[in-house]
Structure 1
Amino acid sequence: MSEYEVKIIDPEERQALSDELAEKVRYELKANIHGACVKLLTDNKDFKNEWEDNFKFMNEDIRPHSKIFAIEDSGSLEVMYDPIGKVSILKNLDYYGWVKSIALATISDFFEDYHSIHRRYSVHGSAVDYMGHAIAIIGPPGTGKTTLTYGLLQEKEFNYISDDWFFVRLFSNATVLYSSEKNSYIRDDIADVWKSYADEISRVKLDVKGRGIADVNSLFEGRIRESSTLINVVLLERNKDNPPFRKVDTEEALEYMLETDFCNPHQLIRNERKLNLRKNFFRDLFSKQDVYILNTVETPQESLNRIKNLAKVCL
């Protein structure tokens, strides 16, 4: 579960809150997130700068599909969401990471509601490209998803797609992954494990959580891909009673996702309809390619070697 609670509000309450907060808004910016327009309204200059560095630009003439208010009013932390208008209202956040995650969750809710038309979904996970095919890495916080992703990207054969959240489109004969962000919201402790990133991270302006926006072109020397065809999914766990690496079938993989709340603490709507949508999506996703569970009880390098070997064997 998330470290914050989401209060669901109706359009009337959202409109009243929007009117109340309007005079506090100093910056309005639109972002292109997987072809959808998401508008940030905030009084925080740091959020404004990080948003511009984080996401692709969207033309101001495009009407927003969703809006995010991030406002300080000296009160307590509040996260509210109007699912009809696709508007999130965030009050008194001091951490940009939640702003961008809730923005991604908001537009993901929009895509879910139009799933029958476009078959586009979101996944809270990372993705790398290897020789023209993608490997998705999905796991709960603390299982090593980010560490393994950056470990793979030390190798010249691997290309960056996303390190936190990606979009998926299901075709009849393939599954295509798409990046969600322009740049990486990197953790400073990555350099503690993989020393090769130390110089680049030293140039990143870090926030209160020790994270900041890093230019992925510099970080990965131009090895960037906006999309790739999925070939394997690697699910992460940390359980000393289980083997370090095993292949699982579709139902086992789906059970894992249900047990881990889809590895996504930023689900704005949790109800039976959304649960069934997510179950059906992941069942469909897992049925189209091989799925493995990597138990990260070994050293980061040993776990990394298992994914590298998998990539090379499959191609």
Structure 2
Amino acid sequence: MLSYNAELITPYAKDELLKELKSKVKFERKANIHGACVKLLTDNEEFKEEWEDNFKFMNEDIRPHAKIFAVEDGQELQVLYEPISKTCIIKNCDYYGWIKSIALATISDFFEEYHSEHRRYSTHGSAVDCGGHAMAIIGPPGTGKTTLTYGLLQYDNFNYISDDWFFTRLFNNAAVIYSSEKNSYIRDDLAQVWEGFSEEVSLVQLDNKGRGIADVSTLFGGRVRETSTLKTVVLLERNISKAPFRKLDPEEALDFMLENDFCNPHQLVRDERKLNLRKNFFHELFQAVDVYLLNTVETPRESLDRIKNLII
């Protein structure tokens, strides 16, 4: 579960902190995240290597749109964010999963600030493609998003887009989604649910949290797509007192997202303006797609059977 809080800081405080941290940085790597440049500066060689495996390469000549500092100073975990320069300083983190999620959250904040021009938004959710149409799976942590995503990918007609974040561009007649990462940061227990992935998972080098970067082309036999047209969204909940599956209208779907904080624990800026931006995006999105609510109190196989034919 998430166990950090992001603290907003001023540009002056950021400048003072970077003076202290400059001597600690040993590695610098840039990543291409949906066309934006994010730079990692760290003293952790494992973070540097996982970052390289996780994200697409960005040419060193490109100036960064956001910076992530991940360093150790022997104190408590801290996440400090300066939103004007899109600079996030992460101290004493031992989990790469937060590094990459915070990087995605930082560039998401960047895209939100240019939403009127680019109309590109980020979603904390997974996505698969089938025949040029995409299904997104969105839910609070622990509701089975990753399990269902990989369950769908057992079938040869489904293609991998993303299992954690994706970006959306809203057109007048369609919602087009884009992948966020080059490869997947998977859990070691994936093969316990879907045994078909056991051989590939056994080859992944795991970190101290039992997770590691898997080459998605190898994992899914080349069934990887970078973009698709979104047709269906499946929202997840886990509540034994509610029905297992039903279709939602756009207002019901938006209410669900608001009640569950947009199913995204990695929101660096939370204020009324940001709330309205996110609310307006999801309201428009849900008017353009079919939305269902899946209650994952059944077995993974039963839940999978309820959704696997929605876009076939």
Question: Could you say which TM-score interval applies, normalised by the shorter chain?
Answer: over 0.9
Secondary structure of 2:76 counterpart: coil
**What SS does structure 1 have at the residue aligned with 2:252?**
helix
Q: Distance in 1 between matches of 2:240 and 2:299?
A: 13
Corresponding position of 1:141? 141
Mapped pair 1:192 → 2:189: no
Q: Percent identity?
A: 72
CA drift of 1:141 comes to 0.8
1:310 is paired with a residue of what secondary structure?
coil
Deviation at 1:309, TM superposition (A): 2.2
Amino acid aligned to 2:226: E
Unaligned runs of 5+ in 1: none
- Alpha-carbon separation, structure 2, partners of 1:311 and 1:240: 27
Q: Say if 2:268 is the partner of 1:268.
A: yes
Deviation at 1:18, TM superposition (A): 1.1
Residue 25 of structure 1 deviates from its aligned partner by 0.3
- Normalising by structure 2, report the TM-score: 0.99
- How far, CA to CA, are the matches of 1:27 and 1:74 in structure 2? 19
- Assess if the C-alpha contact under 8 Å between 2:231 and 2:290 holds in 1: yes
Contact in 1 for aligned 2:176/2:227 (Cα 8 Å) = yes
| Paired residue type of 2:35 | G
Q: Do structure 1's residue 49 and structure 2's residue 39 form an aligned pair?
A: no
Partner of 1:69: 69
Normalised TM-score (structure 1) = 0.98
Any idea what SS the aligned residue of 2:308 has? helix
Q: Which residue of 2 aligns with 1:242?
A: 242
Deviation, structure 1 residue 241: 1.4
Q: Secondary structure at the match of 1:128?
A: strand
Instruction: List aligned pairs for 1:144-155, cutoff 5 A.
Output: 144-155=144-155
2:310 counterpart of 1:310: yes
- Match runs of 1:284-299 below 5 Å: 284-299=284-299
Do the aligned partners of 2:133 and 2:311 also contact (CA within 8 Å) in 1?
Answer: no
Once the two structures are superposed, what CA deviation does each residue of 1:37-94 show, in whole Å capped at 9, x if it has no partner?
Answer: 0000000000000000000000000000000000011111000000011000000000
Give the Å deviation of 1:101: 0.2
Which residues of structure 2 form unaligned runs of 5+?
none
SS in 2 for 1:309: coil
* Counterpart in the other structure of 1:107: 107
Task: Deviation per CA, 1:259-291: give whole Å up to 9, x if none.
Answer: 111000000000000000000000000011110
Question: 1:3 deviation in Å?
Answer: 1.5
The corresponding residue for 1:280 is 280
Partner of 1:80: 80
Q: Which amino acid aligns with 1:24?
A: K
Q: How many residues align?
A: 312
* 3-state SS of paired residue (2:143): coil
Displacement of 1:307: 1.0
The aligned amino acid for 1:264 is N
